[in-house]
Chains A and B, each alone.
Chain A
Amino acid sequence: MKWLLTILFVFTLEQVIAHTIVVGRNRHISTLRQGITAAKDGDTVLLNKGTYKEGNIIINKAIHLVGIGAPVLDGDNKHEILTLTGKNIVIKGIHFANAGYSSMNDYAALKIIEATNILIEHNVFTNAYFAIHIANSTGSIVRNNIIKGPDRSEHLSGNGIHLWKCENMTIENNSVQGHRDGIYFEFVTASIIKKNISEGNIRYGLHFMFSHNDTYRDNIFRNNGAGVAVMYTKNVRMENNVFDKNWGPSAYGILLKDISNSFIKNNQFIQNTVAIQMEGSSRIDIGNNLFKANGWALKVQASCDGNIFHHNNFFGNCFDVATNGTKTLNKFSSNFWDKYDGYDINKDGIGDVPYHPVSMYAMVVEQNPATLVLMRSFMVSLLDKAEKAIPCLTPENLIDNKPVIKPNK
């Protein structure tokens, strides 16, 4: 028994006494590869300032790799820099530069495969194909990283933060720009994405598919080539995000395709070509959002049903709502529309006349985009007025029965 206890004690001691290995130019250990090889589970590897070009390094034990003075790991434009697998690994304060590009493999500056409890923080990624690529992992945190892509064309660049088949992940306070997709999720569930800034990416600021039960909060998606596109997902919460200046022939503030049972609340949509485009989406609660100076605030295709739009504020959009069918299965209530010209006799703050957010011209443009050339013409305003008096083309059930007189808070 004593013997067994001793062994157990020694074993724990071995675990508890973590060593610190210092890697640096003029140190005993001068390459990161040696440092990693020497390290055991629970050790910390301190990487001193300098540039390290060591090809691909694999970490498969529970160590902390901490950079001092932002050491540079350079992939020489041909290697994947760091590959992580296992659990309890921390990567902190390192500058990953020039990761390789391949049309065969998804090379990443930092690739994490089949790992648990990983912490990636305060790193800088420049000129990478994929910056952070995480596959088949759980319970990890990626935070406070700065990612700057190479701004190459769409097929030559990868995603900033790319997650595939993960669970319980936290993506927080990162800034991504110049990649293909800023943040890309596929089969990522029960995760939290907050306070990130994704701007100036070539395709989407945020792009996810089959990623259920995720929460997106306080993020900013700005000036991305095609805005934000999310697909085939249920139970998503999107709150307090900003979708800003996503301009272009096929750019959307957010494109919802087959999204269901979700919440989109307190977001700001400013100056997008289309703020929200919805296709085949059901039972989404879209409330308390601000739509300002967009081309189209909402494009709700006839394939959407059971969605509720309430307490939103619409200011200065060219078109408030557009749709492509006459059947209406969605509900509008208590929104503020700046184009509303009804009255409120009993002063309860709710307009006494229902508001038709779909204008005749919005229907016309939906059918024949070339007619955009007639926008703001006398003819069009006459048509709109006539249609308002006697609706025949616009869906008559698509109305807000309780338009509020003053903007919602």
Chain B
Amino acid sequence: MLKLSRYVLYDILRSKVIIVYTLFLLTVSFSLFQLEENNSKAILSLLNIVLIIVPLISMIFTTIHYYNSYEFIELVVSQPLSRSRILLSEYSGVALSLLSAFFMGVGIPVLLFSFSETGLALLFTGAALTLIFTSLAFLAAVSARDKARGIGVALLLWFYFALIYDGLVLMILFSFSEYPMEKFTLLLSALNPIDLGRIFIMLRMDVSALMGYTGALYKDFFGSGTGTLYTTGIMLIWIVLPLLLALRIFKKKDL
């Protein structure tokens, strides 16, 4: 399995996309920290990168990579190797390269310029989102044989999590504004990893605004040790569950 992952990694490095991604993140992070006079503002801009760009790149890169190495996968499947091992090594190869790109591109600047609780929360969220969206992309890619369709599904998923979901939440909150929705929004946040990550970071940043009314409840929950555990747990479920589903489909799939 390790050997297979290594081949996947070599393959990814040869394509240079991941290097460009790393350089992009590095340039953006460094310039943000240089441009903004105060580090928390830079972190704020980085937050948008982490919440929007990182999931998008993870998804697209993973699906394209999967379809590009389709022949290689077909070849390996003919060898005496279990299918789950093949897919898991593909996953670990891709996830590892994306993670290292993220840590080099965002991690180093953050640790250099803003080594704080907020910075660490940002890195944690970014890493978790990378893994989650790689998982989701595998699920999308495995379930569609057609390349265009696979990428389309992946994009749609990203669009859903990044934008549509928040719109739905807004709608629900307005439709049921007569009811106490605070606890319910906590539940809603668990259904979207991007939201969960955003709230997790935000509560370490915009404390003053959030301390009002509703904010106090979120603060109590997400600010506590239980909140961190909850976030980590939900994030883990978001990584594992799509991957397991993808594995199931992949095992039964007629390649």
Contact = CB atoms under 8 A, between A and B. Distances in A.
Interface of A: 247-251, 271-274, 293-296, 316, 318-319, 364, 367-382
Interface residues of B, number: 38
Chain B contact residues: helix, strand, loop or mixed? helix
Nearest to A270: B208
B169 A374 contact: yes
A370 B163 contact: no
A353 to B, nearest CB: 22
Interface stretch (B67-75, B94-102, B126-134, B195-203): B195-203
25 contacts: A249-B213, A272-B208, A273-B208, A273-B209, A274-B212, A294-B208, A294-B209, A295-B206, A295-B209, A318-B206, A318-B209, A364-B170, A370-B185, A372-B213, A372-B214, A372-B218, A373-B195, A374-B169, A375-B206, A375-B210, A378-B51, A378-B52, A378-B166, A379-B167, A381-B48
Contacts, number: 100
Contacts of A381: 48
A366 B125 CA distance: 29
B211 A247 contact: yes
B94 to A, nearest CB: 25
A273 B38 contact: no
B174 interface: yes
A271 B214 contact: no
Contacts of A368: 173-174, 177
A364 B169 CA distance: 13
Contact of A373 (B44, B52, B189): B189
A271 B166 contact: no
Given A272-B208, A319-B209, 20 more contacts: A273-B211, A294-B209, A295-B209, A295-B212, A316-B40, A367-B177, A368-B173, A368-B174, A369-B213, A371-B173, A371-B174, A372-B215, A372-B218, A373-B185, A373-B188, A373-B189, A374-B169, A376-B47, A379-B170, A380-B166
Nearest to A318: B209
Given A368-B174, A370-B177, A376-B206, A249 B211 contact: yes
B208 A247 contact: yes
B117 interface: no
A299 to B, nearest CB: 10
Contacts of B208: 247, 271-273, 293-295, 318
B127 to A, nearest CB: 19
A295 B210 contact: yes
A374 B167 CA distance: 9
Nearest to A382: B163
Contacts of B211: 247-249, 251, 273, 295
Contacts of B111: none
Nearest first, the 5 A-B pairs at minimum CB distance are A295-B209, A379-B166, A318-B209, A295-B208, A370-B181
A382 B167 CA distance: 11
A249 B48 CA distance: 27
A374 B166 contact: yes
B184 to A, nearest CB: 8
